[in-house]
Amino acid sequence: MASIVDTDPSDWRYVSEGGATIVFSYHGPPNPEFDGTVLRLRKALVPSLKTVVKIKDGEVYKQQALDGEDEPDDPTIEYQTKCMAKLIPPEHLPRLETVKLDQEWLQRLAQLENLKRPEARREKDGIDVNRRKGVLATDLVGGNWLAAEIKPKWAFLPSPSHLSEETNSIKSQTCRFCMHNHLRKSNGDIIEMNYCPLDLFSGDETRITKAIHGLWDAWTESGGTVNNLKVFAKGKTLRPAETSLMLADGLDASSTTTEQIRDAFTSALRRTLIKTPVLGILSRLQRTLDVLDIEGLSKLWRTTERAAPLYRTTFESFFAQPDGTSPPPTTPLGVSSLFLSSPEPAIPDWVDFLNTYLSSFSSQLDHSKPEPKNLRYYLLAYLLSATFKDCSIIVRLDFLRPCIEPKIEVKPNTVTVIDLDPKSLDKLRGWEKLDKEIAGTYSLNTARKTCIDAFSSPT
Ligand SMILES: [Zn+2]
């Protein structure tokens, strides 16, 4: 196992961060173990917040007893090698390995790099200096190329079969992302975005162009703060004012308009996305794993709990005389109780699930009538779908030459899927609540968007 103390903290530069992790890239002297790699570290809340906020990210990773050498490898690694590799061709996954960390080293890195982080993030969290193991991954953005990181989000419209009367007409017309964007805009959290993921996933050139324009415009208008598009040039995160750094060497930036750069970027990205199978894979996985929608999953959860023998005996009086009696309480979706227990999945559970999902068993299920005995299957399927709804892709591009037809060569590593973290059952009740809020708020919107799912099956 590589050890981080073989490098100096000053060899590493801050790249970016998400809710749970923070990424640095290697710029030190030549070293075969670290050249072309990034270091992905877990974050921890700043001490003053630790007592009032629970770990926000509900990933399966729990705080470990951190002394001793037996801290497990970061679960991302095992999840990727044992699970994701069965669903996504290896050439579209980054190389990941465990690296040994050191507290003092991490503290020095934090001192050196903390000021480069966005202020809002710095107030909240920082590098978890107590970890003994981190993740070393392929540096997808740091070479002599341009990289676009896209968080595409939900690829499909739900099947109407499990939607309630109130949500059916809303959720089958406007996609989840566009509705969520409306809610966040109403709350003042984010700007309005024209980007619709169903355009990006459509496979249609005109629609993909529209999607990329939507991403670009939101990136520009937000000053580069939307998290659906990030652009890197030679490892540097670009701000919208720095688009001239996207041009190939030798081109005169002063005679190139931003419009020309936007067009060249769109054209290169669109041609690459059309050639790669990655978006098609993500779309198929999302929709075949989330077949019930959270509404159908919640219904199945309640039906299963109600059918449990202990539930029936506990609430016997209700079942004897159901008319006029208010129904007995049910446990929130994903929360185990005396009546219904569904523990958080660990890696062996995911492996079992994938064997089932990839077998003929899953194709024989009648999703219009999900059975309580298959509840566990549907729960894990939904969580896995959420992983693919939340992942990002990194697309490697040549530096731009506006007005010249780009030569697009799609090689392994041209498009890579990242941020494939396992999700946990304790997220489900929050997601159910959010889903209601999103659809409820959208139902009040008089100018509803129509999003077209190019791959929806006729009902
Ligand atoms: Zn949409």
**227 Cα: distance to centroid of ligand 1 (angstroms):** 17
Cα of 228 to ligand 1 centre, how many Å?
14
Would you say 231 and 145 are in contact if contact means Cβ atoms under 8 Å apart? no
- Taking residue 129's Cβ as centre, other Cβ atoms within 10 Å add up to 18
Residue 177 Cα to ligand 1 middle (Å): 6
- Tell me which residue range forms the domain holding 436: 148-284+388-443
Residue 459, pLDDT > 60, answer no
Report percent pLDDT > 90 for the chain.
74
Q: Distance between CA atoms of 381 and 354, rounded to whole angstroms?
A: 9
Beta strands of 177-296 (E only): which ranges? 229-233, 236-237
Whether residue 81 is contained in a domain is answered as yes
Could you tell me the CATH number of the domain that includes residue 122? 3.30.200.110
pLDDT at 57 > cutoff 50: no
What integer is the mean pLDDT of 189-197?
A: 90
Which pLDDT score, from 0 to 100, does residue 50 have?
54
Q: 176 CA to middle of ligand 1, Å?
A: 7
Tokens of 38: 């990034």
Using the mean position of ligand 1's atoms as its centre, give its distance from the Cα of residue 196 in Å: 4
Predicted confidence (pLDDT) per residue in 62-81, tens digit: 444 444 457 888 888 999 99
Mean pLDDT score across all residues of the chain: 91
β pairing state of 229-233 and 236-237: antiparallel
For residue 410, pLDDT over 60 is answered with yes
Separation of CA 193 and ligand 1 centre (Å): 10
Residue range 333-338: average pLDDT?
92
Whether 174 is covered by a domain: the verdict is yes
Task: Specify if 173 maps to a domain.
Answer: yes
**Which residues sit with Cβ closer than 5 angstroms to ligand 1, an ion?**
175, 178, 196, 451
For the chain, give the percent of residues with pLDDT over 70.
94
Whether 117 and 153 share a structural domain: no
Helix, strand and coil content of the chain, in percent to the nearest 5, comes to 45, 15, 40
DSSP sequence for 64-97: PP-SSS-PPPPHHHHHHHHTGGGTS-GGGS--EE
The pLDDT tens digits for 351-384 are 999 999 999 999 899 999 999 999 999 999 999 9
Place of tokens 């449990």: 308
The domain tally of the chain equals: 2
Q: Is there a single domain that holds both residue 72 and residue 133?
A: yes
